Amino acid sequence: LRKNGWATAISAHSSGMYYDGFGTYDINVTATPEGLENYEAIINIIFGYINMLIENGPQEWYYKELAEINQAEFDFKEKEDAETYARTLSSRGHNQYVPPHQILSHNYLSSGYDADLISKCLSYLNPGNYRLFIGAQEHKAVECKLEEKYYNILYHIADMPSHMTSNVKCSPSVAKMLHLPSRNAYLPESLSVTKPATPVDKPALEPVLLRKNDRFKVWFKQDDQFFTPHGHIGLTISSEYVNNSPLNHLLSTLLCKIVSSELQEQLFGALRANSNFYVTLREGSINVDVSGLSSGLPLLLKTILQKIKTFKVDTQQFSIYRDEIERMVQSQRLDNPISLIYRQLDAVNMVPAFDLDMLEEILKDITLDGLQKHIELLFSKAYVKMLVSGNYNQSVALKTSNQVLDILQLQPVSRSSINARRILAIEPGYYTQIVPISDQKCLNSA
């Protein structure tokens, strides 16, 4: 779907037994405008993949991988908010029909591999047993005449056409591209816990500085309180080119979106292993964060940084996400009031900051060549701050920082060229800024 430019994201999950003795399996596709026009072909590909799963049969090795990951998450589960956790457990017993002895372990521990049961569940995912929901501002194939009573949203309901409920399959050329996932390289190598070399009376309240120079600063905070095999590694990449103009601000935002989308596919195994990663533009810097079971995070970080440093922009992906950036900028005027307030606060505290008028005016100057040159400039001179925390020791933290330096090949940079936040002492009182409403006729305008 991504290669055809038809979708930017896809997810699938079971609803659980929330209904009266049955559940649903939900597949959600975030379609591009071209994907919306080819929605029937998308459905064909989805059922083509399901048919491939049926033909290959249940895979016990895949079951074992998931069971291993879920067992680790259950064994080292962190505490939740008491009220939220109580509601969750109550819902499992009352709404989801979970037996009492499985309420705590539900969604974590597996009851045992059952190939016949897996095949039976797969058999229900067929073209005669699904409902299709399409949500868009407009759809040329239908005319919406029904109106929802609360928000006056127009909608349309129709019986499924016969060609979409029987003999639904993708083309042979597409079928050849569909395959099972590979074995997971991001499974935890070890679940052992690294404890401080000497007993600790009180947990440390702040990290320690391990390295500092004109390119790099490394902070480290070992888990000396909870002793679980979890970790977090965060990088802040600052460069004079990240956010020094409205155009570079949008180019950096666009880079983060495209890279994150590309990595979703490449790092599917890491996501399966319950690791998380984020590549975002925040406070004038590019931030890379990875978290999860600690043993796999250095490899995950290495993969992400190699992708960013050597990234070559694909024409189709550029077009899709450039349009998304344009819609994002234009829709920000319709944000809820609290979001608009926080954006104004950022404008006060961040140097430089750009209002929506500046960003809208510069949208036309975003080009493919411009983005590629921007990527090269970003890392020509940059300053990186890194925090390694959790189930690590100082040796691993320094080794991981060396890995970052080897990949990014940072050149010395003057700190005066890096954008910094202003610290303002705002006196107590009431402050008012009058901002005209962008669209007087739009009820959603804040």
Q: Tens of pLDDT along 53-67?
A: 999 999 999 999 999
Q: Are 380 and 213 in contact (CB under 8 A)?
A: no
Q: Are 327 and 137 in contact (CB under 8 A)?
A: no
Residue type present at position 156? H
Q: Are 344 and 332 in contact (CB under 8 A)?
A: no
Q: Give 241's contacts (C-beta < 8 A, 6+ positions apart).
A: 248, 374, 377, 378, 380
Q: Which two tokens stand for residue 293?
A: 């079971």
Whether the per-residue pLDDT at 433 is higher than 80: the answer is no
| Residue 286 banded pLDDT, cuts 50, 70, 90 | very high
Q: Give 194's contacts (C-beta < 8 A, 6+ positions apart).
A: 222, 223, 391, 392, 393, 396
Q: What is the mean pLDDT of residues 190-206?
A: 86
| Residue 141 banded pLDDT, cuts 50, 70, 90 | confident
Question: Which position has the higher pLDDT, 95 or 204?
Answer: 204
Q: Which two tokens stand for residue 277?
A: 């990663």
Backbone φ/ψ region at 32: left (φ over 0), alpha (ψ -120 to 50), beta = beta
Q: Are 353 and 346 in contact (CB under 8 A)?
A: yes
C-alpha–C-alpha distance, residues 281 and 264, integer Å: 17
Whether the per-residue pLDDT at 51 is higher than 90: the answer is yes
Residue that the structure tokens 């009820």 belong to? 443
**Any bridge partners for residue 11, and if so which?**
28
Give pLDDT, residue 26: 95
C-alpha–C-alpha distance, residues 377 and 344, integer Å: 29
Nearest to 281 by CA among 228, 221, 350, 330: 350
Whether the per-residue pLDDT at 438 is higher than 70: the answer is no
Within 10 angstroms of residue 306's Cβ, the number of other Cβ atoms is: 12
The secondary element (H helix, E strand) that includes residue 280 is strand 276-282
C-alpha–C-alpha distance, residues 408 and 410, integer Å: 5
Nearest to 407 by CA among 309, 290, 288: 309
Whether the per-residue pLDDT at 337 is higher than 80: the answer is no
Give pLDDT, residue 445: 57
Q: Tens of pLDDT along 383-432?
A: 999 999 999 999 999 999 999 999 998 888 776 766 666 666 778 888 77
Q: Give 158's contacts (C-beta < 8 A, 6+ positions apart).
A: 142
Q: Which two tokens stand for residue 113?
A: 């591999």
> Under DSSP, is residue 31 helix (H, G, I), strand (E, B) or coil?
strand
Whether the per-residue pLDDT at 35 is higher than 90: the answer is yes
Within 10 angstroms of residue 201's Cβ, the number of other Cβ atoms is: 4
Give pLDDT, residue 159: 92
Within 10 angstroms of residue 102's Cβ, the number of other Cβ atoms is: 14
C-alpha–C-alpha distance, residues 311 and 292, integer Å: 25
Instruction: Return the percentage of the chain with pLDDT > 70, whole number.
Output: 93
Beta strand 230-238 with 216-222 is unpaired
Mean pLDDT of the chain: 88
Q: What is the mean pLDDT of residues 13-29?
A: 80
- Classify residue 11 as exposed, middle or buried by CB count within 10 Å of its CB (0-12, 13-18, 19+): exposed
Q: Are 257 and 325 in contact (CB under 8 A)?
A: yes
Task: List Cα–Cα distances, 40 to 10, 12, 166, 248, in angstroms.
Answer: 16, 18, 13, 38
Q: What is the mean pLDDT of residues 100-105?
A: 90
> Under DSSP, is residue 30 helix (H, G, I), strand (E, B) or coil?
strand
Q: Are 284 and 243 in contact (CB under 8 A)?
A: yes
Q: Are 400 and 285 in contact (CB under 8 A)?
A: no
Nearest to 53 by CA among 119, 108, 132, 7: 119
Nearest to 33 by CA among 104, 138, 110, 126: 138
Give pLDDT, residue 444: 59
DSSP code, position 100: G
| Residue 434 banded pLDDT, cuts 50, 70, 90 | confident
Q: What is the mean pLDDT of residues 106-134?
A: 93
